[in-house]
Chains A and B, each alone.
Chain A
Amino acid sequence: MSDPATLPTVEDAIALGLTESEYELICEHQGGRPNRVELAMYSLLWSEHCAYKHSKKLLRSLPTEGEHVVMGPGENAGAVDVGGGLVCAFKVESHNHPSAVEPFQGAATGVGGILRDIFAIGARPIAVLDSLRFGDPASSRSRYLLDRAVAGIGHYGNSIGVPTVGGEVYFEGPYEQNCLVNAMALGIAEREKLVRSAAAGIGNVVVLFGARTGRDGIGGASVLASAELGDDDGMRPTVQVGDPFEEKKLMECSLELLERGLIVSLQDLGAAGLTSSASEMASKGEVGIDIDVSKVFLREADMEPFEIMVSESQERMLCVVEPSNVPAVMERCEKWEVGGAAIGTVTDTGRMRVFDGEAIVGEAPVSALVDDCPLYDLAPERPAAPVYPVPAPVLAGDVSMREMLLALLRSPNIASRRPLFERYDAIVQSRTIRRPEQADAAVLAIKPLVGRPAYEISPSELKGSRDPDGPIPASAVSIDCNGRRVAADPYTGTVAAVLECASNLACAGAKPLGTTNNLNFGNPEKPHIAWQLSEAVRGLGDACRALDAPIVGGNVSLYNEGASAGPIYPTPVIGMVGRLPDARRAGRLGFAREGDAIALVGPFAPRLDASELAKLWGRQLPDGLPQIDVEAVAAAQAAVRDAVRASEVSSAHDIAEGGLAVALAECCLTGGLGARIELDDDIEYLFGECSGGFLASGERQALESLSEQTTVRMIGVVEGRSLSIGDQIEVELPELTEAYEALVELFA
């Protein structure tokens, strides 16, 4: 078929990110040397990004089953049952390296990609959250990356009509050269109408629809996402460009095709484009697929077959259609002004065959492409010396506690995120019951709110139903990870991140149903990174088992280190979805009523090690964190959750970065009310950090009764226009506000 002299060599394979032994294995599977199309397909599907070569074995230890799980890992997104015949689909994904190279498009297409994962299983996206990490905001590069990444997320989410309801951002030195941009999306679907991606039905037609295919993003998965970052600018052509308008049409078109029952299976095109989507559909269906690249609508006329197969052009979907339904599918595409073309067929060959018109230009066994990539064992080794540099001190050790509180409120990791979240539409779709800064978790009505019951809107998942007096079921969602604590202790830090999400849900009144995660780590071939990764996965599994919040999906992003800068903090970003029975009783974080008693709830044993204050002081990370009593934290979460659901408390807030004093200030600022706190404890008690502490306000008796379930300490009362803590601290609200608004300057 091909002249051996023109076949790519082992050097070409290595340039595409494969190893020599992987190339040899490919030759074995192919019964000879692969041609250019075949090698391109292997190089992508056998990349770290697609094949999870260094993490797959570890991930098998995670809990993935539970009574609420409807769809687990392996599909485009996971899904949990939220009652009433509906499921919530959700997943988090990273777009770290593209965002480091071109932050606006990198972040925008990260949102676009995760939204496609949601509607690919037939769910209407109802919310986006983001998890961002940058270097010190004193650096202009960090500020540039942050500003453009936030602009990109907003550009995509706002334009497509999906609210961005929450998120988190941390600024730490180790992210300076390698920022993290993770995006999470949620969707709602009728359980009966979920669609899977497995291709089925020999002779069925494979239809590619959406945007045209161009040269953008070629090699993104293999070269950009699966290696350490080098020279930024040269990589820019591997970053894709997003068009939210195209995706909005694609989303409405996809949901309408599913609503009308016109398609057999559906898959989005993401990393590795057509190659990955078609191979995975074929693999899951245990069939073969023939693709004719000459039928693909192109943006540029002279594209090579291998370019068409690996292009990462955005806003495209692949579906399998029964031949009789093809005209109806094309008609829907026309209605939504979305390009659609029948480009292939489902076969019984078990092979991916690529045609250019009549001529076959490449073929490979589906199983070899998808399942036979070699998996590697990690060689974990606990580092003997500290991995991360000591942060520069920005606060003297001998300042007053009052100064410590104000310095913490000004700290970029704690200051109000208002300048960021104000750039996102948080309310479109009429479901957002708690927007950012109103509660620890975002709360979304599962069905859109309507004034009177039983209005039918097509498509059916938009059907609103609301008994004016009946409960309004809602979902709550949180995303979190304090990478500094994971760096100090990968196992305990990851347990803490999972507990933090569950605590956030508890404060909103929600119980966890399922978890997603994005494991952002450095180069796993290095023993100390391998150790961080395996310890974090062990912590993730243990915590999710303890909370009965199984992992329903996720993503792994490795090689997050610059050549000179060293690895990022290990950052297993956790996204958690829960349910609350009635949105009208969703919790709030701010103090709500003058005269309310304030209680410190839960097993609160804070430590300054690895805290935000220790960072401001420029202290070295500790080697290990105290073990967490997960059962005791879960009991406190249950107590808070029950009290919120019963409307027995006016406010509930989880104590996190900056400790008790900062949490009190946040309750005051959000509620616009002061507090008088009778505590004469030390710096560690007021500013130390740990899992399992909550602040609740309300009737004294109701708060005291929480002691049946967990530890309760009555500490003060909501009162006046200033926050006072013992004799040590007294600050008027306006001064707290001024400190808390420190991030505004970054955007001036």
Chain B
Amino acid sequence: MKFGVLRFPGSCDDVDALLAARRVGDAELLWHGERDLKGADAIVVPGGFSYGDYLRAGSIARFSPVMESVIAFAGDGGLVLGICNGFQVLCEAKLLPGALLPNSNLRFTFRQVELEVVQEQTAFTCACGLDGPSPVVLSIPAKHSWGRYYADEQTLADMEGRGQVLLRYAPGHNFNGSSNDIAGVSNERGNVFGLMPHPEHAVDELTGSKDGLCIFASMCLAVEAARV
């Protein structure tokens, strides 16, 4: 199992995502200017400020050569995880519904938040409930200025109906004002997933929590299962 972690100019959490992915599998950085995904079984679009977040967060990165390949990869059913800025890129690329707006407090905010796993049987969450009670609550840090998830009411209703909301902020933890307390959503097919909090920063007790590791482990399980 090999993760490909994209690296744009301005990516900041790329190495963190690489290190997190390597706790469960193999992983390699993929340069934004190249189209070759180097045989990756799953793609991580990491956090940071790709292209300085100029124009609008994620709006330039979505046109990079590597994203052409990622869009095709997702079209073939490949697993794509977008974290923070990566989530914004995936929304800009229309791989995920909705958009990320400025936090309702209008400030960059860093906070450890609790997330409820809403769907436990997906390619991105199937490992999260394996060794604990249900519903699963994950403690994961979030840090962003533009993290208020927004979609129109019809889209939200459709997403909720189809089980595309995988993670929700626990009561009291939705500091950015996201619609329906949404922290992470997948596409209809279930192979593309984006979330604002940073699971790659919650992979070791020493830095506060290892609750985020299950997201990467889930992707491993899903890829291995698809191979059998």
Contacts and interface: CB of A to CB of B under 8 A. Distances in A.
Interface in A472-515: 472
Interface in A418-434: 421-433
Contacts of A155: 108
B4 interface: no
Contacts of B111: 422
Nearest to B200: A430
B63 interface: no
B49 A423 contact: no
Contacts of B23: 450-452
Interface in B140-181: 141, 143
Interface stretch (A194-202, A217-225, A244-252, A521-529): A244-252
B177 to A, nearest CB: 16
B107 interface: yes
A455 interface: yes
Interface in A447-462: 448-452, 455, 457, 462
A249 B9 contact: yes
B75 interface: no
Nearest to B141: A427
B109 A423 contact: yes
B15 A424 contact: no
B80 to A, nearest CB: 22
B108 A423 contact: yes
Interface stretch (A42-50, A99-107, A156-164, A554-562): A156-164
Contacts of B107: 151, 423, 747
Given A248-B10, A449-B19, A427 B203 contact: no
A428 B12 contact: yes
A154 interface: yes
A337 interface: yes
B52 A243 contact: yes
B19 A450 contact: yes
Given A249-B9, A430-B201, A455-B22, A448 B51 contact: no
A429 B22 contact: no
B52 A433 contact: no
Interface in B72-128: 107-111
A336 B201 CA distance: 26
B81 to A, nearest CB: 17
Given A159-B53, A422-B111, A245 B15 contact: no
Chain A CB within 10 Å — which of B9, B109, B141 has the most?
Answer: B9
Contacts of B10: 159, 245, 248-249
Interface string A432-453: 1101000000000100111110
Interface in B11-36: 11-13, 15-16, 18-20, 22-23
Q: Name B's interface SS.
A: mixed
Contact of B16 (A424, A429, A433, A435): A429
B15 A462 contact: yes
A451 B10 CA distance: 25
B173 to A, nearest CB: 13
A451 B204 contact: yes
B52 A244 contact: yes
Nearest to A583: B206
Interface residues of A, number: 44
Contacts of B12: 159-161, 248, 425, 428
A141 interface: no
B19 A433 contact: no
B206 A457 contact: no
A448 B19 contact: yes
A464 interface: yes
Interface in A151-206: 151, 154-155, 158-161
A57 interface: no
B22 A422 contact: no
A31 to B, nearest CB: 48
B54 A245 contact: yes
Nearest to B203: A451
Contact of B206 (A249, A424, A433): A433
A429 B207 contact: no
Contact of A426 (B11, B54, B110): B110
B199 interface: no
A402 interface: no
A745 to B, nearest CB: 14
A155 B53 CA distance: 12
A299 interface: no
A427 B9 contact: no
Contacts of A424: 108, 110
Nearest to B109: A422
B48 interface: yes
A244 B10 CA distance: 9
A584 interface: yes
Contact of A429 (B9, B15, B203, B208): B15
B108 A161 contact: no
B51 A245 contact: yes
Interface string A399-432: 0000000000000000000000111111111111
Interface in A573-588: 583-584
Contact of A432 (B13, B51, B203, B207): B207
B179 to A, nearest CB: 23
Contacts of A427: 110, 141, 143, 198, 201, 207-208
Nearest to B9: A249
A428 B11 CA distance: 11
A456 to B, nearest CB: 11
B197 to A, nearest CB: 12
Contacts of B198: 427
B60 to A, nearest CB: 11
B88 to A, nearest CB: 14
A430 B16 contact: yes
Nearest to A436: B110
Given A243-B52, A430-B19, A457-B18, A161 B13 contact: yes
A421 B141 CA distance: 14
A481 to B, nearest CB: 25
A423 B10 CA distance: 19
Contacts of B207: 427, 430-433, 449
A154 to B, nearest CB: 5
B110 A423 contact: yes
Given A161-B48, A245-B49, A455-B22, A337 B9 contact: yes
B9 A472 contact: no
Contact of A451 (B9, B16, B22, B141): B22
A430 B107 CA distance: 23
The residue in A245, A455, A472, A584 that gathers the most chain B C-beta atoms within 10 A of its C-beta is A245
Contacts of A455: 19, 22
Interface in A235-267: 243-246, 248-249, 252
Contacts of B109: 422-423
A692 to B, nearest CB: 30
A427 B206 CA distance: 12
Interface in A1-24: none
A450 to B, nearest CB: 5
Contacts of A433: 206-207
Contacts of B108: 154-155, 158, 423-425
Most buried by A among B12, B23, B111: B12
Nearest to B26: A455
A433 B18 CA distance: 19
Contacts of B19: 430, 448-451, 455, 464
A191 B23 CA distance: 28
Nearest to B175: A422
B143 to A, nearest CB: 5
Given A154-B108, A158-B143, 11 more contacts: A159-B49, A248-B49, A425-B108, A426-B110, A427-B110, A427-B208, A431-B207, A449-B19, A451-B19, A451-B23, A457-B18
13 contacts: A159-B49, A161-B12, A245-B51, A245-B53, A249-B10, A427-B198, A427-B208, A429-B15, A430-B20, A433-B207, A449-B206, A449-B207, A747-B107
6 smallest CB-CB distances across A and B, nearest first, come from A245-B52, A161-B12, A451-B23, A159-B49, A430-B16, A425-B143
